[in-house]
Amino acid sequence: MAIAIPHRQLFIDGEWKEPARGKRVPVINPANEAVIGDVPAATAEDVEIAVEAAHRAFHRNGGREWSRASGAFRAKYLRAIAAKIKERSSELAKLEAVDCGKPLDEAAWDMDDVASCFEYYADLAESLDGKQRTPISVPMQTFKSYVLREPIGVVALITPWNYPLLMATWKVAPALAAGCTAVLKPSELASVTCLELAELCKEVGLPPGVLNIVTGLGSEAGASLASHHLVDKIAFTGSAETGRKIMTAAAQEIKPVSLELGGKSPIIIFEDVDIEKAVEWTLFGCFWTNGQICSSTSRLLLQESIAKEFTEKLVAWAKNIKVSDPFEEGCKLGPVVSEGQYEKIKKFIFTAKNDGATVIHGGNRPQHLKKGYFIEPTILSVEDTSIQIWREEVFGPVLCVKIFKTEEEAIELANDSQYGLAGAVISKDLDRCNRVTEAIQAGIIWINCSQPTFCQAPWGGIKRSGFGRELGEWGLENYLSVKQVTEYVSNDPWGWYQSPSKL
Ligand code: NAD
């Protein structure tokens, strides 16, 4: 299907601006490797003016035009953006699918989530007004104390390509709800829908500079944004490797960061499950979004007594997954995002085989697809848990299976990871599910499912999966600073020092 990629510029101070050096990054359709457009590539000069615009917008008119306006005022813009997303959701879904390769039905689902997330944070922006000046009980009656929740300032929002508009929204919506002004830097591998968000912001009349969107390379646009002295906080989603660079940049200016990084999450299947249902959740937990999910439950821990039957069914179901162009009816697995990712995943599979893992399904490009970055849903059985494929994040459609005997062994295997983003447990015994939930070291646990995510519930990891929480009320807190106000309410003098007049 031919989709026209709109020709856009950088979005700075409410206007489209050509990148200072005139550079652009090609947009490649991963399903056929064709160049279908380009997006502007910002450099340090562009980032400079974007951050200055955000800084001006934060302080304009003493903050009364945005940062110190009521939450209800800001909520109107968030709702207007949500309405525009809904109006254009079908077109946005197509742009997203052609840009990053995810099946069109999934992209359409993401656009619904984007609109809901803006609406949700509009509600929270309104309720923020009622949470200002909440009294704090202090033990001396001569004092009154309360807190003000204030926007943290200018925030840098740096996002990945697997859910291009949704990951941006998880940051943009709460940041604007809180009263921050922002510079968003989406991934160079999929920025098209984020530039469309800019167009929607223009249409709803968002005050200039409140949201600036600078596309371009991480090493240029991203790095200069992360190290800018006028940025008050960095919210980052991406790889652990880049997360480390972001922390290093932030450390120079003692700047807060929140990091949503990668994972290698376990899914534990006990012998009492309904096998067909558990098989479906296992596949969804790993192959949804073309296997490119940070919280992908890509380490399957399978109880020994059902291992043979479960694996046979798993393979049979995996064979049934339709791998095709994202626009084909019934597509359930599209191409991975880029040639770089395709080569990286193939190398992971090659190394896994050399390391002794056994491919029980997939491992190659599907024979019917000659072009595009397609990889079959791949299932590998693993004995030795020290090998790379068991320990490192693939970020592609690759599931590893390991057999366990007891609950204790399953928990030990699950926690033997540098990551701690998510985990899933599947069993009819809810007591066991609760025990395992408490024992798994992760920020998100699914019971009898894997992956469903709601914008009301907190999202984030522990260990090398990062820190800080997005979504829910926690997502708003990310962009707020708490100011303590304490007032002396007695008419009596404080009385610590003696007045010279009494001597
Ligand atoms: P990445 O780290 O390569 O890039 C993420 C963003 O950082 C991009 O916008 C990139 O341009 C930018 N960037 C790169 N180098 C930079 C630098 N030196 N300074 C500043 N910015 C820089 O990650 P990716 O490949 O886009 O995304 C995949 C990774 O993201 C995976 O590890 C995945 O697990 C993780 N992820 C995590 C979550 C989560 O919620 N925890 C969600 C989605 C993806």
What single-letter amino acid sits at 95? L
CB atoms within 10 A of CB 282: 27
Give the distance, in angstroms, between the CA of residue 217 and the centroid of all CA atoms in the same chain: 18
Ligand 1 pocket test, candidate residues 239, 252, 478, most atoms within 8 A of CB? 239
Judge if the beta carbon of residue 421 lies within 6 A of ligand 1.
yes
Q: Return the CATH fold of 11-261+465-486.
A: Aldehyde Dehydrogenase; Chain A, domain 1 (3.40.605)
Ranges of each domain in the chain: 11-261+465-486, 266-447
Q: Average the pLDDT over 20-26 and give the result.
A: 97
User: Tell me, what's the pLDDT at 139?
Assistant: 98
pLDDT, tens digit, for every residue of 340-353? 999 999 999 999 99
* CA–centroid distance, residue 238 to ligand 1 (Å): 2
CATH number for the region 266-447 comes to 3.40.309.10
pLDDT exceeds 70 at position 1: no
The order of strands in the sheet holding 15-17 is 15-17, 10-12, 211-213, 181-185, 154-158, 233-237, 257-260, 466-467
Atom of ligand 1 minimally distant from the CA of 249: 19
Q: Average the pLDDT over 164-178 and give the result.
A: 98
Judge if the beta carbon of residue 262 lies within 6 A of ligand 1.
yes
pLDDT, tens digit, for every residue of 290-340? 999 999 999 999 999 999 999 999 999 999 999 999 999 999 999 999 999
Query: What percentage of residues in the chain have a pLDDT greater than 90?
Result: 98
Rounded distance, CA 196 to CA 222, Å? 20
- What is the pairing mode between strands 181-185 and 299-303? unpaired
pLDDT exceeds 70 at position 118: yes
Q: Average the pLDDT over 402-428 and give the result.
A: 98
Taking all residues of the chain, what is their mean pLDDT, rounded to a whole number?
Answer: 97
pLDDT, tens digit, for every residue of 200-256? 999 999 999 999 999 999 999 999 999 999 999 999 999 999 999 999 999 999 999
Judge if the beta carbon of residue 84 lies within 6 A of ligand 1.
no
Q: How confident is the model at residue 500 (pLDDT cuts 50, 70, 90)?
A: confident
**Of the listed 260, 393, 407, 470, which one is catalytic?**
260
Q: Average the pLDDT over 49-60 and give the result.
A: 98
pTM: 0.97
Q: How confident is the model at residue 2 (pLDDT cuts 50, 70, 90)?
A: confident
* CA–centroid distance, residue 160 to ligand 1 (Å): 5
Ligand 1 pocket test, candidate residues 100, 162, 258, 444, most atoms within 8 A of CB? 162
Rounded distance, CA 359 to CA 376, Å? 12
143 beta partners = 488
Rounded distance, CA 344 to CA 395, Å? 9
First-residue to last-residue Cα distance in the chain: 93
Q: How confident is the model at residue 501 (pLDDT cuts 50, 70, 90)?
A: confident
Output the residue whose Cα is nearest ligand 1's atom 22.
Answer: 218
Residues 162, 166, 170, CA angle at the centre, nearest 5°? 120
pLDDT exceeds 80 at position 476: yes
Q: Residue 312 catalytic?
A: no
Identify the helix (H) or strand (E) that includes residue 50: helix 44-59
- What is the pairing mode between strands 257-260 and 233-237? parallel
pLDDT, tens digit, for every residue of 77-107? 999 999 999 999 999 999 999 999 999 999 9
Residue 10: both structure tokens together:
């950088």
Q: How confident is the model at residue 410 (pLDDT cuts 50, 70, 90)?
A: very high
* CA–centroid distance, residue 187 to ligand 1 (Å): 7
pLDDT exceeds 90 at position 503: no
Judge if the beta carbon of residue 187 lies within 6 A of ligand 1.
yes
pLDDT exceeds 90 at position 22: yes
Rounded distance, CA 355 to CA 349, Å? 10
Output the residue whose Cα is nearest ligand 1's atom 23.
Answer: 238
Judge if the beta carbon of residue 161 lies within 6 A of ligand 1.
yes
pLDDT exceeds 80 at position 131: yes
